[in-house]
Structure 1
């Protein structure tokens, strides 16, 4: 038998590879769902046995029922919070990633500007949230701004680390081969930095929901944070937990979107 025929017979068929990927995807979805199901069943079973009243800790069936009966109201406020999360996150990404490259490229800026950025980052964002309400009112902008500030620094630091990670000898090699500055940036610097950038974006995706909710806690007339405060005022625990479920769903969906973008922009890291 020839070498070519041996290589052909030893290679896995596309059908086998596709089924393996489908099995891995199903496993990645099934195990978290099973874990959540066990947790909720244990919660549903434990609360009545322990004699915990509903106004302290409702059972999952109560707040899932509330999530369904008030789905229109909760969905309306979820859209408001999701809009704040997306706008603040995108603003942070659009500003911090190019700024990270500029700071790394110009050493004078790194010495002059970066310490100032670190100083302002040390100021607690939650402490200045009431100032945003005083300055900008109860509209959308204060929540987006607070979300932006929470997402900005992790993305900036990750971007700076990524643009620094490239070996200088690679840059000497590209210059010796006649590559332009744009070609070096597009085909060498950005791909080398993407792993670090997406690490920062994943951290920022978690902070984004926190920024939006804190901004709504301080002053808002819409959003899940506003709805949570309203439920707390009336000790409406099923509503509170229904809002927490909706917020968790938004966070999970947003996290998966960032992961999907990473797979799309970094095909060389795909498994299989």
Structure 2
């Protein structure tokens, strides 16, 4: 019984919050443009499906594309910094400093330099995705057992062999941890990029809804952003279980 309560307690809390929200909206007659009731938001999400389907599809494709590029760049940078300590000492502090610059500040510059096409949007998503991957991957490399590294050195393994057969497999859990963060950041980056210049996407849908005081549609957009993040997270979680299980099977 305790396990069931612990497992489903978040769902119970959400239901309670929605109930209080719905009850408060009716009791205090809160205007829809200020804070619509959950039933109003749900009704708009169901009946307005045709008006935002292509927005949702556009943001999904943009998020996936940016995530793939960001993760690829992050892994390449992390491996280069790990294999080249001199480069890591020179570049890693700059990577840390770069995270102090808000993306919302860089985004207008990217629009000026590259226009309103897909490229600046992908760059924005790449920038928010690759840093968690770099940090998590480097931490995974550093956590590799020094005894195992020494053993492979004694066995005559080259640096490349140590990396491919020991360091990289041991870093996979850390890589997946960074990947989960990057997946949620990719949706955020896509929405931010759409705010700054686009003709479709959840960010555009949200902006249009806000300007017309359709608060129910704003909440619908927020809901789909949350669902999209959860879907990305779940897919990566499944991949993590499959790959790490397979890795443990091979090692065994």
Q: Say yes or no: does 1:101 pair with 2:79.
A: yes
Q: Output the aligned Cα RMSD.
A: 2.4
1:246 maps to what in 2? 224
Give SS of 2:35's match.
coil
1:189 maps to what in 2? 167
2:119 to 124, 137, 141: 141
Q: Supply the distance in 1 between the matched residues of 2:109 and 2:131 (Cα, whole angstroms).
A: 20
1:214 to 180, 192, 205: 192
Q: Supply the distance in 1 between the matched residues of 2:165 and 2:128 (Cα, whole angstroms).
A: 30
Contact 1:92 1:149 in 2 (8 A): yes
Moved over 4 A (4+): 178-183
2:207 maps to what in 1? 229
Q: Supply the distance in 2 between the matched residues of 1:33 and 1:71 (Cα, whole angstroms).
A: 25
The structural deviation recorded for 1:140 is: 2.1
The structural deviation recorded for 1:173 is: 0.8
Contact 1:263 1:269 in 2 (8 A): no
1:91-170 to 2 correspondence within 5 Å?
91-170=69-148
The structural deviation recorded for 1:50 is: 2.2
1:9 maps to what in 2? none
Q: Supply the distance in 1 between the matched residues of 2:70 and 2:217 (Cα, whole angstroms).
A: 32
Give SS of 2:116's match.
coil
Q: Supply the distance in 2 between the matched residues of 1:238 and 1:117 (Cα, whole angstroms).
A: 39
2:40 maps to what in 1? 62
The structural deviation recorded for 1:237 is: 1.2
1:199 to 156, 177, 181: 177
Give SS of 1:53's match.
coil
Change (3 A) 1:183 1:105: closer
Q: Supply the distance in 2 between the matched residues of 1:269 and 1:79 (Cα, whole angstroms).
A: 36
Contact 1:232 1:240 in 2 (8 A): yes
Structure 1: gaps spanning 5 or more residues: 1-23
The structural deviation recorded for 1:157 is: 1.0
Structure 2: gaps spanning 5 or more residues: none
Q: Supply the distance in 2 between the matched residues of 1:192 and 1:83 (Cα, whole angstroms).
A: 31
The structural deviation recorded for 1:178 is: 4.6
Q: Supply the distance in 2 between the matched residues of 1:213 and 1:97 (Cα, whole angstroms).
A: 24
Q: Supply the distance in 2 between the matched residues of 1:150 and 1:137 (Cα, whole angstroms).
A: 19
TM-score by length of 2: 0.88
The structural deviation recorded for 1:201 is: 1.6
Contact 1:138 1:221 in 2 (8 A): no
